[in-house]
Amino acid sequence: MDKYKVRKYQPSDKPDWDSFVKNAKNATFLFHRDFMDYHSDRFEDFSLVVFSEEKLVAVIPANLKAGVLHSHQGLSYGGLVLGKKTTFPEALAIFQSLLIFLKTEGILTLNLKLLPKIYNQLPSDEIDYLLFLIKAKLSRRDLSSCVFNENKLKIESSNRLRGIKKGEKNKLQIREESTFDSFWEEVLEPNLKKVHNQNPVHSVPEINLLKSYFPENIRQFNVYKDNQIVAGTTIFETSEVAHAQYISANAIGRKTGGLDFLFHYLLNYFSNKRYFDFGISNESQGLKVNTGLIKWKESFGGRGIVHDFYEIDTDNHHLLNEVLL
């Protein structure tokens, strides 16, 4: 265990951090520092880096709030990021070193929101097993709906088929755009304000900035009728998954089957990915499911995967002392 040294991330670590994340087995572009740091004013960054001698062997994107360390709350998911060649004994020692460091720093609780398994490039359940060993508490579980492209279900819902036909009849057009202004200002923001009295997590300047950093990963697909935008979705694309980050249609889009038409197209467009992820349908911190929303996603062949959140007592690091025989 003394082999591993843990410390806080420093700006000078950025090249090594980004290189490590790019080649990790359980990471996506969301863990790159440009994605994390665009909203650095909102969070007290307390990301950690783990070294073996001079080699970076693990990172954890995180922020500190009220004395508790969280998987970075500005990201959809997080966890301990490991290299592709990391073995279980190494993962155990790295994780225990991290918990000891936090305890030494006076941080008694670590809240982890794990990366859903569909995003992994290799099996990465070592952390799940270690969470069991240290008696971590499952504090929240969300349900996301995804299409598994290697065994894709046929769209049989009469409502979806009718919506797709409506889109064809209304001569809707789908275009990939390089900016997000029209979708945000004419569709997404008005809808969110009307239905939930909320704004998107990302503002227009923020999503355009992130697009400039990650042009191949953040993509916008809009639906037009007579050259007027009526619907759209923002896709976050990773090596394994195409994830619909934002989905919205205006009154004309709903009337003309805009979203059914769009997602029928996208499921074919992204059929080279292992998964197409529609995202969660939860409310009330995972305790409730929006029936209409999940029914729509499942009618495209989406089926459930969980997104788990754990609360860890850092003092339990000693439970990892005698695991290996």
* pLDDT tens by residue, 144-189: 999 999 999 999 999 999 999 999 999 999 999 999 999 999 999 9
One domain for residues 250 and 168: yes
Structural domain includes residue 52: yes
Query: Burial code of 10-49, b = ≥16 C-beta within 10 A, e = fewer?
Result: eeebeeebbebbeebebbbbbbbbebbbbbeeebebbbbb
Note the pLDDT of residue 2.
72
pLDDT band of residue 271 (cuts 50, 70, 90) is: very high
pLDDT band of residue 85 (cuts 50, 70, 90) is: very high
One domain for residues 98 and 205: no
One domain for residues 127 and 171: no
One domain for residues 9 and 136: yes
pLDDT band of residue 195 (cuts 50, 70, 90) is: confident
Structural domain includes residue 39: yes
Structural domain includes residue 296: no
One domain for residues 159 and 138: no
Nearest to 230, CA basis, from 215, 250, 202: 250
One domain for residues 122 and 238: no
One domain for residues 9 and 126: yes
Give the residue with greater pLDDT, 317 vs 3: 317
Nearest to 147, CA basis, from 272, 289, 245: 272
Structural domain includes residue 292: no
Q: In the predicted model, is pLDDT for residue 3 greater than 80? A: yes
Structural domain includes residue 286: no
Mean pLDDT of 222-249: 97
One domain for residues 128 and 197: no
Q: In the predicted model, is pLDDT for residue 318 greater than 60? A: yes
Structural domain includes residue 112: yes
Count of domains for the chain: 2
Note the pLDDT of residue 197.
87
- Range of the structural domain that residue 229 is part of: 153-270
Cα of 305 vs its chain's centroid, Å: 13
Per-residue model confidence as pLDDT tens digits over 38-55: 988 899 999 999 999 999
One domain for residues 126 and 185: no
Residues 188, 189, 190, 193, Cα dihedral to 10°: 120
One domain for residues 17 and 120: yes
Per-residue model confidence as pLDDT tens digits over 104-118: 999 999 999 999 999
Note the pLDDT of residue 32.
98
One domain for residues 72 and 122: yes
Note the pLDDT of residue 96.
97
Per-residue model confidence as pLDDT tens digits over 238-248: 999 999 999 99
pLDDT band of residue 77 (cuts 50, 70, 90) is: very high
Which spans in the chain are helix H? 14-23, 33-37, 88-104, 126-133, 158-169, 181-183, 189-196, 204-213, 251-255, 258-269, 291-298
Mean pLDDT of 291-315: 97
**Average pLDDT of every residue of the chain:** 96
Q: In the predicted model, is pLDDT for residue 15 greater than 90? A: yes
For the entire predicted model, the pTM comes to: 0.95
Note the pLDDT of residue 1.
54
pLDDT band of residue 64 (cuts 50, 70, 90) is: very high
Note the pLDDT of residue 41.
87
One domain for residues 28 and 132: yes
Domain CATH for 258: 3.40.630.30
